[in-house]
């Protein structure tokens, strides 16, 4: 009740002034220069459920026009559940939380002009007034600045296979260790080293729960062979976990892994084979850094004749429904 509301008020303290002045204008910038859309502002002010969404999945994770259709569909799922979607991206150097349909359209259709933006890239993209599609790490950071507690995506980055020599560990994992946002996802892809990803999250102090199962999900498939350290079975249990973390002022994130729906998981085997081939090709091409994940996603899509894309779309919509329910349970618990 009371305590929780005070926590939210103080967490988004620097924002409150900007938000309360915003009645007359459709959008206004916070002290940090973040533009929060009118619908999201209203929801935050009234304590309604808000769900953050990333934009790298739009610009670098899927081809046009499926990326735009999916971005719109995911926002619709969130609204149908009774929550407010807040897609996050950087437009002309300005971080935006909550996009108009025109803004979504230009992100999706001009992906070549949009830079993949993790925490590392944020200041540069702002300083150069570029368009930036935020990854999980940058989306978490901006969501937290606005006082948004829940973020839905497809999959998180992780420890890459071979990381013992390349040191390719996604900035998503360190962000989860330092930013208090719960990320609802379908786990981590098998392009990654899932056991090491879980080890790294443990080191970073990140709570990792599987939703309705004991096993951490592996994105395209329901099973990874790795037991999740925690399990939750209902949106209320998810909300209670987030609330307890806030109560203790824990400053790390939470991962809630929701397995892909049974009906959409059938392509799993084919996708797994394609993954092996794509990994080998990435190795031969000597790809490194931020280019690795987009290459693998695109190659797997080609090799599976688009089957991986269908699964990807199905699971993110499912995650959006579950994430919204958790956000609504959290908002209810706070009142």
- Provide the 3-class DSSP secondary structure of residue 221: strand
Under the criterion CB under 6 A, does residue 293 sit at the interface with ligand PSU? yes
- CB 308 to ligand PSU: min, Å: 10
The residue among 30 and 56 lying less far from ligand PSU, judged by its C-beta, is 56
Give whole-number Cα distances, 50 to 26, 201, 234, 267, in Å: 18, 25, 18, 32
Q: Which residues are catalytic?
A: 54, 189
Kindly identify the residues of this chain, within the stretch 219-248, that bind ligand PSU according to CB under 6 A: 219
With CB cut-offs between 5 and 8 Å by kind, which of ligand PSU, Mn ion, none does residue 180 bind? Answer: none
Q: Which of 290, 309, 315, 321 binds ligand PSU (CB under 6 A)?
A: 290
Structure tokens given for 215: 């096993």
Kindly tell me which of 313 and 326 has the beta carbon lying closer to ligand PSU.
313
Nearer to ligand PSU, 171 or 246 (CB): 171
Helices (H), the chain: 2-11, 13-20, 38-46, 56-59, 66-81, 101-109, 122-127, 136-146, 163-166, 171-176, 194-203, 235-247, 268-285, 292-303, 307-334
Q: Check residue 155 for interaction with ligand PSU (CB under 6 A).
A: yes
Q: Are the CB atoms for 278 and 307 separated by under 8 Å? A: no
| Rounded distance between C-alpha atoms, residue 6 and residue 13, angstroms | 10
- Quick one: which of 172, 265, 268, 308 contacts ligand PSU (CB under 6 A)? 172
Least distance to ligand PSU, CB of residue 105, Å: 19
Question: Which residues in this chain contact ligand PSU in the complex, by CB under 6 A?
Answer: 54, 56-57, 61, 135-136, 154-155, 157, 170-172, 189, 219, 290, 293, 297
């Amino acid at each position: 009740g009371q305590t929780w509301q005070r926590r939210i008020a103080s967490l988004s303290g620097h924002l409150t002034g900007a938000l309360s002045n915003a009645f007359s204008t459709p959008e206004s910038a916070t002290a940090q220069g973040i533009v929060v859309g009118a619908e999201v502002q209203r929801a935050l002010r009234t304590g309604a459920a808000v769900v953050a969404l990333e934009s790298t999945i739009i610009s670098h994770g899927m081809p046009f026009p499926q990326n735009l259709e999916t971005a719109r569909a995911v926002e619709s799922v969130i609204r149908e559940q009774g929550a407010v979607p807040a897609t996050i991206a950087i437009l002309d150097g300005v971080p935006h939380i909550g996009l108009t349909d025109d803004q979504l359209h230009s992100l999706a259709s001009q992906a070549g002009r949009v830079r993949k933006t993790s925490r590392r890239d944020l200041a540069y993209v702002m300083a150069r007034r570029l368009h930036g599609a935020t990854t999980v790490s940058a989306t978490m950071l901006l969501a937290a600045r606005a006082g948004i507690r829940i973020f839905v995506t497809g999959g998180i980055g992780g420890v890459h296979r071979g990381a013992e020599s390349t040191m390719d560990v996604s900035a998503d994992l360190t962000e989860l260790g330092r930013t208090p946002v719960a990320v609802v996802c379908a786990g981590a892809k098998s392009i990654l080293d899932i056991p090491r990803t879980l080890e790294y999250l443990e080191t970073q102090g990140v709570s990792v729960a599987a939703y309705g199962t004991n096993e951490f999900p592996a994105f395209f498939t329901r099973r990874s062979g790795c037991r999740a350290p925690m399990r939750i079975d209902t949106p209320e249990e998810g909300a209670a976990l987030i609330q307890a973390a806030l109560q203790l002022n824990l400053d790390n994130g939470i991962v809630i892994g929701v397995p892909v729906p049974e009906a959409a998981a059938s392509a799993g085997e084919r996708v797994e084979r394609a993954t092996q081939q794509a990994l080998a090709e990435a190795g031969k091409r000597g790809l490194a850094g931020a280019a690795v994940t987009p290459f693998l996603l695109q190659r797997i899509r080609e090799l599976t004749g688009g089957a991986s894309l269908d699964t990807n779309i199905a699971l993110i919509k499912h995650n959006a429904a579950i994430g919204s329910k958790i956000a609504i349970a959290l908002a209810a618990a706070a009142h």
